[in-house]
Amino acid sequence: MELKRLIEGLETFRITGELHGDVSGVCFAADQCGRDSMFVAISGLKNDGHQFIDEAISRGARFIVHEKELHFDPPITAIQVPDSRIALGIVSRNFFDHPSAGLTLIAVTGTNGKTTISYLLESIFREAGFQCGVLGTINYRYGDKTYAAPNTTPESYEMHRVLRAMADEGVTHVVAEVSSHAIDLKRVDACDFDLGIFTNLTRDHLDYHLTMENYFQAKKRFFSEILTHSAKKYAQKMIINADDPWGRRILKEVSQPGLAYGIENECVIRAISHELSLKGIKARVDLAGESFSIASPLIGKFNLYNILAAVGAAFILQIDPAVIQKGIEKMSNVPGRLEPVDSSAGSSIFVDYAHTDDALRRVLQNLTELKKKKIITVFGCGGNRDRGKRPLMGEAATHYSDLTIITSDNPRMEDPLAIIAEIEQGVDKSQIKKNEIGAFRLNGDARIYMVVPDRRKAIEEAISVAEKDDIILIAGKGHEDYQILGSEKIKFDDRVVVKQILESRS
């Protein structure tokens, strides 16, 4: 692509070298550069791309985009910009011929619910006859293609590359989970979004954002800047959970029309009645003055909120309520999101991705309303992540569970026992007694907990003590099919482990 066309819309401080020539490709990792390529030097979280400019040039890069001052005169074209991350998005958009302009692109952001909403919208769009693509936590997929997702939201170059591939394959509608990291790191600034959904905000990623206000401002920036600047023209672009206090702040602070959804407050999209059970959700939804019934195999009140968010997006896109209804009913479950695992013993076993105190609390609150006998929870916390949530998760789990088994999640480079000790700090030991493995006995309404650092053994213990009509929740990893021990990633899938244990017992 001709250089002048590639840098259209790019704010520059200084350009040295010739401002013409054909660019063979765009790269942000020096080892990916080739002859006549453009290298965009980004200051990353671990490495600074400016330190690899020489390598990029040695590999054939002829054009360099940088934001820091260069202390040498490179024998190529150097383009200094105020923000390399924004620049990478713009040149990537141009290089792939602005793919988001021709797609219906919907962002889903918030702490919880993003993945489920993306699956619901995918089902609705398919029912409407659209060709759908999804970029999310579990994978990136479209047509018959599925790719592993290294990040919930890909880097801007990868974002535009995948969107172009989707558009070329006939995809018409794309749902993208947009993380707070992606917003803060400018990965989606150069995309034209049609709609943005906000689910909720609870404690997460404070190892990165440091405070809840910083976390909120990152989410809010998507609606106040990125969505506002989109060239797409809809009367309403925001779909906001009005029952969430942070959602109400977005509705109040962002000067853009928004459609509110909820259960407790008066909203354009509202569940006016609902019935929850271990078999699913039945609800009556009011849609801007018209009502219709929905039935879903998804479980819990939080999934009713996810359904309402998907209904809101489909409503703005003028999809018929009957189509919305069918799409919701056909979506049976989401991998690792309160995903049921069959149990021949008569207990209900669920695997869930809940890895924050609020997510764990919400799942357990919903299961508490549906339980017949005991709730047994197995969970741990990841290493090298926000330590502040560990005691909060310990408190949440033991408050709602009859038996809590604290185990390992992805300990990474931390000592698993040290992580568990921090989780135990949140346990009210005056109310909840600690038991040793093999000594589990419930006495009336007593609640107990135990520590089993080996995750497989923890799951085995939960299954061995469970009785008919008990509920077992295995939380934290959800769809993940690995465990990170030190620097090693080993195969470990909670769902597979449960099935193996059940098979060996039968």
Domain positions in the chain are 3-95, 99-330, 339-505
- Between 3.40.50.720, 3.40.50.10320, 3.40.1390.10, 3.10.300.10, what CATH number should domain 3-95 receive? 3.40.1390.10
Look up the pTM and report it: 0.88
Tens digits of per-residue pLDDT, 200-222? Answer: 998 777 778 889 999 999 999 99
Please give the pLDDT value at position 207: 79
What average pLDDT does range 55-69 have in this prediction? 95
Give mean pLDDT, residues 171-196.
96
Of 129-133, 165-169, 229-233, 399-403, the poorest mean pLDDT is in: 229-233
* DSSP single-letter state for residue 493: -
Query: What is the greatest pairwise CA distance in the chain?
Result: 81
**DSSP helix, strand, coil percent of the chain (3-state; round to 5):** 35, 25, 40
pLDDT(142) > 80: yes
pLDDT band at 445 (very low <50, low <70, confident <90, very high): low
pLDDT (mean) for 351-365:
93
**Model confidence at 438, in pLDDT bands (50, 70, 90)?**
low
Q: How confident is the model at residue 322 (pLDDT cuts 50, 70, 90)?
A: very high
Cα 502 from Cα 308, distance rounded (Å): 36
Mutual angle of helices 357-370 and 301-316, in 10-degree steps: 110
Q: How many helices (H) and strands (E) does the chain have?
A: 16, 25
CATH of domain 99-330: 3.40.1190.10
Q: Give the pLDDT confidence of 112-130 residue by residue, as tens digits.
A: 999 999 999 999 999 999 9
Residue 442's alpha-carbon distances to 49, 366, 398, 435, 449, in angstroms, are 57, 22, 14, 10, 11
If DSSP codes are grouped into helix, strand and coil, which group holds residue 189? coil
Binned at pLDDT 50, 70 and 90, residue 386 comes out as confident
DSSP-based three-state secondary structure for 467: coil
| 157 CB neighbour count, 10 Å cutoff | 23
**Backbone phi, then psi, for 40, in 5-degree steps?**
-100, 115
Strands 488-491 and 471-475: unpaired
pLDDT at position 474 over 60: yes
Q: Specify the CATH architecture of the domain 339-505.
A: Alpha-Beta Complex (3.90)
pLDDT at 2 over 80: yes
Contacts of 403 (CB under 8 A, 6+ apart): 374, 375, 376, 377, 440, 442, 447, 448, 449, 450, 462, 465
Q: Which two tokens stand for residue 253?
A: 């602070």
Check residue 44 and give its pLDDT.
80
Across the chain, mean pLDDT equals: 93
Cβ–Cβ < 8 Å for 221, 129: no
- Between 77-91, 357-371, 437-451, the lowest mean confidence (pLDDT) is in 437-451
Amino acid at position 475, single letter: A
- Is the confidence at residue 443, as pLDDT, over 60? no
